[in-house]
Structure 1
Amino acid sequence: MLNSKRLTAIADYVAQGARVADIGSDHALLPIELVSRGTCPSAIAGEVNDGPLEAARRGIAAAGLGRVINARKGNGLEVLQPGEADTVTIAGMGGALIVSILEAGRQTGKLEGVSQLVLQPNVGEELVRSWLLEQGWLLAEESILEEDGKYYEIVHALRQADAAARNEAIYGGEPLLNNLTADDDRQLKLKLGPFLARSKQPVFIEKWRSELHKMKRIEAQIGQSVTEDASKRREAMAKEIKVIEEVLECTQTGMS
């Protein structure tokens, strides 16, 4: 059993019987859990660095799962053959790195046959959502949790024929705030998460209160500069802060 709320939440998204590839698997904790709980009959653990790869192999051997979990060395989705996995999990990386892995995999055919993505970016969540939207993946679910003083968002995406229409309903439907343009509303949903922003979860509010504190500190630092560029940056950040504060206010009002 995993001693991690984050990894447990990721594992819970993986469909029964999935052929999973965990990229950046580190100690292979997620593949070991998925096979041990009977979710996956087999799994691939991909690692680019020798240290984590050896740690993964030791963990797999200790769990007695060497015949069904294959630890492979390679950069991102290079460890896969097209059609070898139907589910890819990538966790604990920045959003930009996750996107670069997915895009490289898309361009080389490594995502062929993959119908489910479970992604947990540590930062840059909006980059992940943007890539999924651009590439026609359905944003199926999102979740947010706190563990050891850090906030984690998990994005679950599916490859479905009606993804474009359903994504349009998600990102182009009812706005988070009535005073936003359609484009600004879409950008805000990409940043906050369209499902999370409406979830009214205390952990979502806590995360964005913390983020607002950081943003206001940066805004104050920018304000110390008198250049035209700094003035524009501060104005843009002040606008973003105001919008996020309004979303949180609406969310809290909805909770009361």
Structure 2
Amino acid sequence: MNKAAIFEFFRRLAEANPDPQTELEFGNIYQLLVAVTLSAQATDVGVNKATRALFARVKTPQDMLDLGEEGLKQHIKTIGLFNSKAKNVMAMAEILVRDHGGDVPNDRDALTELPGVGRKTANVVLNCAFGAETFAVDTHIFRVGNRTGLAKGKTPLAVEKQLEKKVPQPFRVGAHHWLILHGRYVCKARTPECWRCPVVDLCGYKAKILEKGAKPATQQGRAAAKES
């Protein structure tokens, strides 16, 4: 995808959704950090259900320490890997209180030193909380980047580096939100809904599904083999 196509790609996504936001619910930067940490290998919908009552009580790292690990587990027990996540969130709260005055640092290195915080989580926090031009490559962005030809790479980091290089202004802050939402609701993993995609003509995916209800190319191939 050349520069002109990339610009048009994001222009159309921005036109359809001028103010893209994360679907995680939070009231402040600390709650955002906790929500993103909990969202690893879980859905935003599931995390939001678990954190609504939690965030009504916990607004700061000190609040989390006061709640305690067992109290936290009761709130997040519906989320996958909740035991290990609870340990990380409690250790994170302790470090934030001890070393950062209860504030979430605006620095990727400092963020990734926190328990349970990897590069993707740090990038989400930097982008959503501080307006940084970061690209948090989750499974959706990895798929969309490779499938469309926008940013190809064998690893999330490789795709992130491609996005850093290729995404133009004024789309850099919102880019990862547009890509996540596009992957979540249109460019789906098993059956991409190409028939309603606003950037279908810019996309390099060869097995486009241009009619609603049509089977992916792999399924068509299996069906033909059975018939023969």
Report the TM-score when normalising by structure 1: 0.27
Q: Which has the higher contact order (CA 8 A, sep 6+)?
A: 2
More strand by share: 1
Report the TM-score when normalising by structure 2: 0.29
More helix by share: 2
